Amino acid sequence: MATIAFIGLGNMGNPMAANLVKAGYAVQGFDLVPENLTIAKEHGVTVMANAVAAVKDADVVITMLPAGKHVLSVYEDIAPKAKKGALLIDSSTIDVESARKAHAIAARHGLPSIDAPVSGGTGGATAGTLTFMAGGGAAGQAAKICNNMILGISMIGVAEAFVLAEKLGLSHQALFDVASTSSGQCWSLTTYCPVPGPVPASPANRDYKPGFAAALMLKDLKLSQEAAQSAGAVTPLGAEATQLYALFNAQGNAGADFSGIINFLRGDQT
Ligand code: NAD
């Protein structure tokens, strides 16, 4: 079985690495946060002292990092030290320009690389059901940015519907039961419901602990707007969602799950 280096063992990386261990791979992991290394160790990951040590003898290197600058800095460190022919897979969500630079760094050292961002959230990472948008040449990042613009807009739409239902005296469960089997059905409602109760696994049931942090949603929406501007696409709802998440983040919610925007829309102090 191949040896896999896994760099970035956060909310997504840790359950992904755990599934690779379960599938029988030897996984060598590294993260800057000691608590994340402890969790990784409990899942059978061999914890390494740094990223360079993690890639030693690895056939595949997976990165799951916050943003483009983290990926580029790790790639500059590891690419000169990786095993000849090792495949670099970046599953972080990053801007297209950084993805292209990451490919260039890998190519400079003769390493094959692919951008393969994922969709499915921490639930999908734990269940092993993530969708990988493996593009190569940064195409995966383009698909991911479009997908997450839909997600940011649809979460606000679902949250607004629950806030309206509250004002109209309709219970959360009643709205969920109807909309989840009607034309309002979407992932933000049925997998990631922003109110506690209808979907027990959603972050709303644990006081909006991420999950997918609002800071990362804002990052993705900004990427979508940069891409829209440079490509000449008109995305007014994407722009509005970006503004709303910027306000939500500015009120001290960057570390909360992005579905917590319902509290902001309701006017609650969070
Ligand atoms: P996270 O902040 O929980 O995890 C990122 C980890 O990277 C952190 O543990 C951090 O310590 C580590 N890190 C940062 N710099 C590092 C370095 N130089 N070396 C080693 N480790 C380093 O974030 P997350 O929610 O796991 O998301 C990771 C990526 O996946 C992001 O790009 C995000 O946009 C994307 N994503 C997240 C979700 C989700 O639901 N959380 C879903 C799809 C995609």
Average pLDDT over residues 170-177: 98
**Residues forming beta bridges with residue 16, ordered by sequence position:** none
- Using alpha carbons only, what angle is made at residue 84 by residues 79 and 85, rounded to the nearest 5 degrees? 95
Ligand 1 contacts (CB < 6 A) are 7-13, 30-33, 36, 51, 64-66, 70, 73-74, 92-93, 118-119, 121-122, 211-212, 216
Q: Tell me the DSSP string of 186-215.
A: -HHHHTS-SSSSSSTTSGGGGTT--SSBHH
Of residues 51 and 270, more confidently modeled: 51
Q: What does the mean pLDDT of the chain come to?
A: 96
Residue showing tokens 């059978």: 44
212 C-alpha to ligand 1 centroid (Å): 9
pLDDT score recorded for residue 137:
64
Average pLDDT over residues 132-161: 91
pLDDT greater than 80 at residue 136: no
185 C-alpha to ligand 1 centroid (Å): 28
> pLDDT tens, 242-253?
999 999 999 999
Q: Strand 26-30's sheet: what is its strand order?
A: 46-47, 26-30, 3-7, 60-63, 87-90, 113-115
pLDDT greater than 90 at residue 138: no
Average pLDDT over residues 14-35: 98
Residue nearest to atom 13 of ligand 1 (CA): 8
Strand intervals (E) in 43-112: 46-47, 60-63, 87-90
174 C-alpha to ligand 1 centroid (Å): 35
pLDDT greater than 60 at residue 181: yes
Residues whose CB is less than 8 angstroms from the CB of residue 159 and which lie 6 or more positions away in sequence, other chains included: 194, 259, 261, 262, 265
Peptide bond into 211 cis (omega under 30): yes
DSSP 132: E
User: What is the pTM for the complete model shown?
Assistant: 0.87
Of residues 29 and 139, more confidently modeled: 29
pLDDT score recorded for residue 262:
98
The preferred substitution site among 9, 12, 28 for testing ligand 1, maximizing ligand atoms within 8 Å of CB, is 12
The preferred substitution site among 55, 65, 92, 151 for testing ligand 1, maximizing ligand atoms within 8 Å of CB, is 65
Three-state DSSP state, 79: coil
pLDDT greater than 70 at residue 270: no
Average pLDDT over residues 85-101: 94
Active site positions, annotated: 144
